[in-house]
Amino acid sequence: MKHLSGVLGGRCPRCGKGKLFPAGLGGAIGLMNPRCSECGLPFLREAGYFLGAMYVSYGLGVLTVLPVGVLLAVVLHWHLAIVIPLVILQTLLSMPLFLRFSRTIWLHIDQAIDPR
Protein backbone atom coordinates (compact mmCIF):
# COMPACT_ATOMS: atom_id res chain seq x y z
CA MET A 1 0.00 0.00 0.00
CA LYS A 2 3.00 2.27 0.59
CA HIS A 3 3.88 2.13 -3.09
CA LEU A 4 0.36 2.86 -4.32
CA SER A 5 0.04 5.92 -2.10
CA GLY A 6 3.55 6.99 -3.17
CA VAL A 7 2.66 6.73 -6.85
CA LEU A 8 -0.65 8.55 -6.44
CA GLY A 9 0.91 11.23 -4.26
CA GLY A 10 4.04 11.70 -6.38
CA ARG A 11 6.36 10.74 -3.52
CA CYS A 12 9.87 9.33 -3.34
CA PRO A 13 9.98 5.59 -4.08
CA ARG A 14 12.52 4.95 -1.29
CA CYS A 15 11.22 6.91 1.72
CA GLY A 16 7.70 7.80 0.58
CA LYS A 17 8.03 11.31 2.00
CA GLY A 18 9.87 13.58 -0.44
CA LYS A 19 7.98 15.08 -3.37
CA LEU A 20 9.03 14.18 -6.90
CA PHE A 21 7.64 17.36 -8.43
CA PRO A 22 7.92 20.95 -7.19
CA ALA A 23 4.80 22.94 -6.38
CA GLY A 24 3.45 25.32 -8.99
CA LEU A 25 3.49 25.40 -12.75
CA GLY A 26 6.89 23.71 -13.07
CA GLY A 27 5.66 20.59 -11.31
CA ALA A 28 2.38 20.68 -13.22
CA ILE A 29 4.20 20.46 -16.56
CA GLY A 30 6.48 17.66 -15.38
CA LEU A 31 9.65 19.34 -14.11
CA MET A 32 11.13 17.23 -11.33
CA ASN A 33 13.09 17.88 -8.20
CA PRO A 34 16.68 16.64 -8.74
CA ARG A 35 16.65 14.52 -5.57
CA CYS A 36 14.48 13.63 -2.59
CA SER A 37 14.45 16.34 0.06
CA GLU A 38 14.11 13.68 2.79
CA CYS A 39 16.47 10.81 1.92
CA GLY A 40 18.59 12.29 -0.90
CA LEU A 41 17.67 9.69 -3.57
CA PRO A 42 18.54 11.14 -7.00
CA PHE A 43 15.48 11.08 -9.22
CA LEU A 44 17.35 11.53 -12.50
CA ARG A 45 19.97 8.81 -12.51
CA GLU A 46 21.43 9.28 -15.99
CA ALA A 47 20.71 10.81 -19.39
CA GLY A 48 17.79 9.02 -21.01
CA TYR A 49 16.69 7.51 -17.70
CA PHE A 50 13.02 8.23 -18.31
CA LEU A 51 12.94 6.55 -21.71
CA GLY A 52 11.20 3.60 -20.04
CA ALA A 53 8.56 5.98 -18.69
CA MET A 54 7.50 6.57 -22.29
CA TYR A 55 6.29 2.97 -22.47
CA VAL A 56 4.34 3.45 -19.24
CA SER A 57 2.82 6.65 -20.63
CA TYR A 58 1.88 4.88 -23.86
CA GLY A 59 0.16 2.14 -21.86
CA LEU A 60 -1.76 4.68 -19.80
CA GLY A 61 -2.85 6.42 -22.98
CA VAL A 62 -4.04 3.23 -24.63
CA LEU A 63 -5.88 2.12 -21.48
CA THR A 64 -7.78 5.40 -21.25
CA VAL A 65 -8.20 6.69 -24.81
CA LEU A 66 -8.96 3.45 -26.64
CA PRO A 67 -12.02 2.49 -24.53
CA VAL A 68 -13.51 5.96 -24.99
CA GLY A 69 -13.03 5.78 -28.75
CA VAL A 70 -14.48 2.28 -28.96
CA LEU A 71 -17.43 3.22 -26.76
CA LEU A 72 -18.28 6.28 -28.83
CA ALA A 73 -17.72 4.71 -32.27
CA VAL A 74 -18.81 1.10 -31.84
CA VAL A 75 -21.30 1.11 -28.99
CA LEU A 76 -22.93 4.53 -29.42
CA HIS A 77 -22.40 4.62 -33.22
CA TRP A 78 -21.00 8.16 -33.29
CA HIS A 79 -19.50 9.25 -36.58
CA LEU A 80 -15.70 9.06 -36.78
CA ALA A 81 -15.55 12.76 -37.69
CA ILE A 82 -16.72 13.45 -34.13
CA VAL A 83 -14.94 10.60 -32.33
CA ILE A 84 -11.43 11.29 -33.66
CA PRO A 85 -11.28 14.95 -32.56
CA LEU A 86 -12.66 13.97 -29.15
CA VAL A 87 -10.03 11.30 -28.53
CA ILE A 88 -7.30 13.68 -29.77
CA LEU A 89 -8.57 16.28 -27.30
CA GLN A 90 -8.66 13.66 -24.54
CA THR A 91 -5.08 12.71 -25.38
CA LEU A 92 -3.85 16.30 -25.30
CA LEU A 93 -5.58 17.02 -22.00
CA SER A 94 -4.28 13.85 -20.35
CA MET A 95 -0.65 14.21 -21.49
CA PRO A 96 0.60 16.33 -18.55
CA LEU A 97 -1.05 13.99 -16.05
CA PHE A 98 0.35 10.90 -17.81
CA LEU A 99 3.83 12.46 -17.92
CA ARG A 100 3.82 12.83 -14.14
CA PHE A 101 2.27 9.41 -13.47
CA SER A 102 4.52 7.56 -15.91
CA ARG A 103 7.67 9.07 -14.39
CA THR A 104 6.43 8.30 -10.90
CA ILE A 105 5.53 4.72 -11.82
CA TRP A 106 8.88 4.27 -13.58
CA LEU A 107 10.81 5.49 -10.53
CA HIS A 108 8.87 3.13 -8.25
CA ILE A 109 9.42 0.17 -10.58
CA ASP A 110 13.11 0.96 -10.89
CA GLN A 111 13.54 1.38 -7.14
CA ALA A 112 11.82 -1.98 -6.55
CA ILE A 113 14.13 -3.72 -9.06
CA ASP A 114 17.37 -1.83 -8.32
CA PRO A 115 17.23 -0.17 -4.88
CA ARG A 116 19.93 2.37 -4.17
pLDDT tens track for 40-52: 999 988 888 999 9
Q: Which residue range forms the structural domain that includes residue 16?
A: 2-113
In terms of average pLDDT, the best of 22-26, 60-64, 111-115 is 60-64
pTM, full prediction: 0.84
Report the number of distinct structural domains present in the chain.
1
Sorting pLDDT into bands at 50, 70 and 90, what band is 53? very high
Output the CA–CA distances (angstroms, integers) from residue 7 to 59, 69, 78, 96, in the order listed.
16, 27, 36, 15
Q: Distance between CA atoms of 78 and 73, rounded to whole angstroms?
A: 5
